[in-house]
Amino acid sequence: MSTVGYDIPATIGMPVAEVETPALILDLAAFNENLAIMREALARYGVRLRAHGKAHKCPEAAKRQLLTGGATGICCQKLSEAEAFANAGIDDILIANEVTQPAKIERLAALATRIRLGVCVDDKAAATRLSEAATRHGANIACYVEVNVGAGRCGIAAGTPAAELAAHIAELPGLSFEGLQAYHGPAQHIRGLAERETAIGGALDRVRETLAALGARCIPCPTVTGAGTGSFAYEAASGLYQEMQAGTYAFMDVDYGRIEPLAGLTPFRNSLFVLASIMSTAIPGQAVCDAGLKSLAVDSGLPSVFGRGDIVYTGASDEHGVIRDPDGTLKINDQVRLIPGHCDPTCNLYDHMVVVEGDRVVDIWTIDARGKSF
Amino acid sequence: MSTVGYDIPATIGMPVAEVETPALILDLAAFNENLAIMREALARYGVRLRAHGKAHKCPEAAKRQLLTGGATGICCQKLSEAEAFANAGIDDILIANEVTQPAKIERLAALATRIRLGVCVDDKAAATRLSEAATRHGANIACYVEVNVGAGRCGIAAGTPAAELAAHIAELPGLSFEGLQAYHGPAQHIRGLAERETAIGGALDRVRETLAALGARCIPCPTVTGAGTGSFAYEAASGLYQEMQAGTYAFMDVDYGRIEPLAGLTPFRNSLFVLASIMSTAIPGQAVCDAGLKSLAVDSGLPSVFGRGDIVYTGASDEHGVIRDPDGTLKINDQVRLIPGHCDPTCNLYDHMVVVEGDRVVDIWTIDARGKSF
């Protein structure tokens, strides 16, 4: 039997005031609104959504995106993450990343016999090893050539090198060339719209160059996939991309809250919070809450306190958050809702998402892919 | 059955080269050496060690500290963490932190009927609520008054306020006043020894002031507990502290590696690493590994690459680490050992610690308290 506060933070029907903290909570109404905003945007631009499961690692959240949010598939970053989503019944997954370790390639090929599975490739020898495993397993692995469209991380150079890799893949048994992975991560977080559009403009140029090189070789490119919450309107409007990979849109976080919203779209709302409790007010002018570095990812900055302009989360240690409270409004056991600095690695700290409507817990979703970084 | 690469990163006996990455690995020889260095230091100063379990959240690591490392008990930061260690058979635990939520106080009192359990207090009303729960459960809860000795986080003011709280606790049924929690967290990380000694000097002054206030009230103070890896020699030599709370010493990390080591002690060695694999070398002069923000806590800075002066980990995204490799030495599937920036929240990302001797996996330890921040 699960113990509340040890194994799980809440039970269904419980008032939010009784949830054991720190807990990851999802405001279901705001989440559903974000899904609706995205669904309408997809329809307007005529593009598909492959919702990024790395944002939440939670199959139930992914199912909502598929059933009511207009998504036609999901993507994730790691093989073990894909396995977790597949084990929960999701059957169309793109690993938007390279998979190269020999044991992982075996498992990837095995998974590809169960679901429609895609993976990214930026190296010829890696493609050959995928083909050998696919052949052994009697699988087909959908391969996307990852192109470096400006992120400078993984991805082969645009144009001829990418087209040559696509040609190599197209000739290999067990693999199909399904398109281009063209995601510009850093551009998502550029604050100003004009600068962001310029960065995405550079990505579009590299996609065009690669599509031309593919065309010159008569290699059809079924899908160009990429784009995130910060930029997807540009990729969607370009006519070059068929598939978006946004994930954060469903939740939002402090970092995405800092950027200028895409024009012509209803801004996404914060739906994801870390619920924390005050545990000390011993020092005047501050309160200390029970959510620190082990409950909140701070790589993109500290959390902010939702709905409170008068108090500021100013410092995190392992299990403490210091909140500046000049008026001394916070008392021991008061709850605060913290907007995480970065939603993806914050979700990865929790086994459960506590779903709330108003002041009531209405569901508990398991974060099955938490820790699945293999 | 556990699947390697999905549930667990390795099996015992496996060569390290075959471990599924990213994985948290522990060099057993270096870990044991660190335990021996600490054991000798404890004997020299005549103080006890309450090894800090928050560093690793791993009962097996704690048991080694207790059985061979000279520790006489452990501490941790959260109730659910204490429950995880208690469930693994550890029977003397101090929660070096305040516990104030009503449901948690009930569980804390219940746990105190099973093991010798301590907790920190910095508020009179909170002490009263602990007493009521202890009485209901027929438990004794060992209470330590947390004094703000300079960290400016939790902790009541030194001197009279702390002594008055101790007097309040001493009068309450079900509670015993066991001493002072006097930990100066920020001082641990001050780079220079002289500046660190000065900061700890301020903490010692506040402890002295509080002991004097207790003495004036004829309240015995069995234990002053506190001190971490960066400073413990000062607290131990002061004659004021009986108990050290170091944790990182067993592992070390980049942040603690930056500080000037305590004089007269053999420096602690890096025993804890994130094993990562190269997954892309598509961009000349760099390699991309499979360990990013979800595999490494970056709150105290990026990881460094163990034993390699020629390559530098320069950037982390969710599941990628970019490594500058000007000479192009890294190939796809090469492994690197990354020293985490901060060991505590890095351990909290993993369910297993892969214990290695040389190039061989010799044990797998479960990180039972991973995610136990309740």
pLDDT category at A2 given cuts 50, 70, 90 is confident
Q: Do A103 and B152 touch (CB under 8 A)?
A: no
Residue of B nearest to A21 (CA): B374
Q: Per-residue pLDDT averaged across B279-296, rounded?
A: 98
Q: Do A100 and B9 touch (CB under 8 A)?
A: no
pLDDT computed for residue A288 by the predictor: 98
Residue of A nearest to B161 (CA): A282
Residue of B101, B278, B298 with shortest CB distance to A333: B101
User: Which residues in chain B have their CB less than 8 angstroms from residue A313's CB?
Assistant: none
Structure tokens at A60: 């139930």
DSSP B297: -
Q: Is B228 exposed, middle or buried (0-12, 13-18, 19+ CB in 10 A)?
A: buried
Q: Per-residue pLDDT averaged across A247-268, rounded?
A: 96
User: Which residues in chain B have their CB less than 8 angstroms from residue A79's CB?
Assistant: 5
Q: Do B280 and A349 touch (CB under 8 A)?
A: no
Percentage of chain B surpassing pLDDT 90?
Answer: 99
Residue of A4, A20, A299 with shortest CB distance to B298: A299
A366 has pLDDT over 80:
yes
Q: How far apart are CA B199 and CA B228, in angstroms?
A: 13
pLDDT category at B2 given cuts 50, 70, 90 is confident
User: Which residues in chain B have their CB less than 8 angstroms from residue A126's CB?
Assistant: 332
- The distance of B298 to chain A (nearest Cα, Å) reads 6
Structure tokens at B278: 């190269």
Contact A50, A236 (CB under 8 A): no
pLDDT digit string, tens, across residues A70-79: 999 999 999 9
Contact A278, A336 (CB under 8 A): yes
Residue of B156, B282, B345 with shortest CB distance to A154: B282
Residue of B22, B102, B333 with shortest CB distance to A100: B333
User: Which residues in chain A have their CB less than 8 angstroms from residue B79's CB?
Assistant: 5
User: Which residues in chain B have their CB less than 8 angstroms from residue A6's CB?
Assistant: 80, 83, 107, 372, 374
Contact B48, B42 (CB under 8 A): yes
pLDDT digit string, tens, across residues B311-322: 999 999 999 999
Residue of B148, B156, B283 with shortest CB distance to A148: B283
Q: How far apart are CA B162 and CA B153, in angstroms?
A: 15
Q: How far apart are CA A128 and CA A103, in angstroms?
A: 15
- The residue type of B328 is G
Q: Which of A126, A165, A164, A343 is nearest to A249 (CA)?
A: A343
Q: Say which range, A52-56, A262-266, A274-278, B139-143, has the weakest mean pLDDT.
A: A262-266
pLDDT computed for residue A70 by the predictor: 96
- The distance of A152 to chain B (nearest Cα, Å) reads 7
Residue of A nearest to B314 (CA): A153
Instruction: Count interface pairs A-B at CB distance under 8 A.
Output: 199
pLDDT computed for residue A141 by the predictor: 98
User: Which residues in chain B have their CB less than 8 angstroms from residue A298's CB?
Assistant: 299
Disruptive mutation site among A25, A144, A153 for chain B (greatest number of B CBs within 10 Å): A153
Q: How far apart are CA A168 and CA A123, in angstroms?
A: 10
Q: Do B344 and A318 touch (CB under 8 A)?
A: yes
pLDDT computed for residue B1 by the predictor: 64
